[in-house]
Structure 1
């Protein structure tokens, strides 16, 4: 016997459906003659209405749902407050010094840390002609047409000649 393929004709598990239809029709006729008393019907409808009443949504919530709603609202407000506060690193006792400082109307771009620049005992100001490609290393945009040109700059250097800061522009 091959068990992989089911037989073409299976026996009906309910037997003869015509006999079942006759029995169900007899049951329908017997139940149609039965009628509930008027007071029982009224009590059932009142109980059903009390169980499934149309209350407003806010009155349907229980105490736990209200607590969960309040906690979610508080958490949302706290998250919004954290998003509105500017971020600060732990241990910052003072605001961080900017990498760009103005000196006599010109802007210096710090190439080294500001602490090292301030510690330098005798920095010198040196005028230099720099290629425009140096601007790209500082993160400034350059036009490819003028990349080969040079630009006037003033550099603040330490005693050993290491550059500390750079001021770009046309100087006299």
Structure 2
């Protein structure tokens, strides 16, 4: 049993009996508070007004979300289309020889240098380069964008390299 003590009592000591107003149990206080809260119910129209205000707020929020939502529905396809157009444009502007294997016109050579370097070689004539036979690892075909069998990646491929007088490898021809 929990008792409280009132220091302002005339005797200065705790009151002695259960009939004292200063002595009470915590459970009694809680019961009295709960009873008081049950007695103070809101007015009947108050619950309906709060519920109606919540519904109006929710409806307003939903309308604003729907208004903004349709704009984002087009963002995904627009972004994909933009990326696709950019990729096609970048592939179209890449210089030959750097974006993969390109075949020289009228020959079986795969050009390994830029278009400017290849044009300078063609302008100078065939006397400035040599054909050098060699064996190339089959995995190098994949780097040139050519098909190859990964199971035979270690086997060599017979090829001819077109080497400029400066030592630059200009092109390669794969032999059967």
Gaps of 5+ in 2: 6-22, 145-149
Q: Give the deviation of 1:123 after TM superposition.
A: 1.8
Contact 1:157–1:165 (Cα < 8 Å) also in 2: yes
Contact 2:130–2:164 (Cα < 8 Å) also in 1: no
Gaps of 5+ in 1: 1-11
Task: Spell out, residue by residue over 1:40-61, the C-alpha distance to the aligned partner (whole angstroms, 9 max, x if none).
Answer: 41x1232133123399x77642
- Matched residues in 2 for 1:159 and 1:23: separation? 106
Contact 1:122–1:159 (Cα < 8 Å) also in 2: no
The normalised TM-score by structure 1 is 0.53
Match of 2:27 among 9, 21, 38: 21
Q: Give the deviation of 1:167 after TM superposition.
A: 0.7
Runs of 4+ in 1 over 6 A off after TM superposition: none
Distance 1:105 1:22, change over 3 A: same
Task: Spell out, residue by residue over 1:95-145, the C-alpha distance to the aligned partner (whole angstroms, 9 max, x if none).
Answer: 633541155573x2223322122122212575543133497498477643x
Higher helix share: 2
Contact 1:123–1:157 (Cα < 8 Å) also in 2: no
Contact 1:155–1:167 (Cα < 8 Å) also in 2: yes
Relative contact order, higher structure (CA 8 A, sep 6+): 1
Contact 1:154–1:167 (Cα < 8 Å) also in 2: yes
1:76 matched to 2:73? The reply is no
Distance 1:104 1:53, change over 3 A: same
Q: Residue in 2 aligned with 1:51?
A: 53
Distance 1:123 1:161, change over 3 A: farther
The normalised TM-score by structure 2 is 0.52
- Matched residues in 2 for 1:19 and 1:131: separation? 101
Distance 1:45 1:58, change over 3 A: closer
1:130 matched to 2:131? The reply is no
